[in-house]
Amino acid sequence: MNKKTTWLIICLVVVVIIIAIIASSGKQQTGTNKSSEANVPVASSEALSKEAIATPEEVQQAQPVIEGSSKVIDNVVVTPTGKPVKNDALAGTAEAPQRTDISNPDVLPPEAIKLTVSNQGFNPAQFEVKAGQVVTLGLSTTDGVHTIVFDDPSLQAIRLNVNPEVGRAITFNAPTEAGEYSFYCDVPGHREDNGETGVMVVK
């Protein structure tokens, strides 16, 4: 083999390696983009059933999603003592996700689910979340006293009542079980006469 041929082979090998590197990095790029679009952070059912996720000190240092709402640690909504909150607890108790007043829906973070309710019903009447995802749900109204409650007792803690002066919000982990979770306003007559109902779709 003469010198020229040897150099030609080396050059070819280098070119092939460079092409391979470019091709693989291109693939990685597309892969990353795709997964980041689909990847809403979720908490596993294992994490949600843990005794404690964090120490009270860690909870105190964490930033709430909205002032006054329960803190979130590693995608798990926790009580001040660091235990995962219970969505099936009695609403407003220490074990339940904390409800907070909101002066207007603009204080909610961009990823929040913003619902309005009136005598015409909920708007939107359906929203979609991922199983185990941290959900911040905000509710407001312009025409009187309304509520949002879920039919499924496993979501008993997710209960908000609003009037035109005060909206409310709550941060909780979506159920880990996929399905359709119906909700309604439990002011007498509002479900039946006004059709104040809706569905949270958990995927």
Binding site for Cu ion (CB under 5 A): 146, 185, 187, 190, 196
- In the bound complex, what is the minimum distance in angstroms from residue 195's beta carbon to Cu ion? 10
**Spacing of C-alpha 121 from chain mean position:** 23
How far is Cα 81 from Cα 17, in angstroms, rounded to an integer? 55
> Whose Cβ is closer to Cu ion: residue 79's or residue 141's?
141
- For 32, the enclosing helix (H) or strand (E) is helix 3-38
> Whose Cβ is closer to Cu ion: residue 70's or residue 141's?
141
> Whose Cβ is closer to Cu ion: residue 149's or residue 187's?
187
**DSSP labels, 99-143:** EEEESSGGGS-TTSEEEEEETTEEESSEEEE-TTBEEEEEEE-SS
- In the bound complex, what is the minimum distance in angstroms from residue 148's beta carbon to Cu ion? 9
- In the bound complex, what is the minimum distance in angstroms from residue 44's beta carbon to Cu ion? 35
- In the bound complex, what is the minimum distance in angstroms from residue 185's beta carbon to Cu ion? 3
> Whose Cβ is closer to Cu ion: residue 64's or residue 105's?
105
> Whose Cβ is closer to Cu ion: residue 8's or residue 166's?
166
> Whose Cβ is closer to Cu ion: residue 115's or residue 155's?
115
- Cβ neighbors of 130 (< 8 A, separation 6 or more) are 40, 42, 174, 202, 203
Q: Which amino acid is at 78?
A: V
How far is Cα 200 from Cα 129, in angstroms, rounded to an integer? 7
- In the bound complex, what is the minimum distance in angstroms from residue 57's beta carbon to Cu ion? 41
- In the bound complex, what is the minimum distance in angstroms from residue 77's beta carbon to Cu ion? 26
HEC profile of 141-191: CCCCCEEEEECCHHHCCCCEEECCCCEEEEEEECCCCCEEEEEECCCCCHH
Contact 126, 190 (CB under 8 A): no
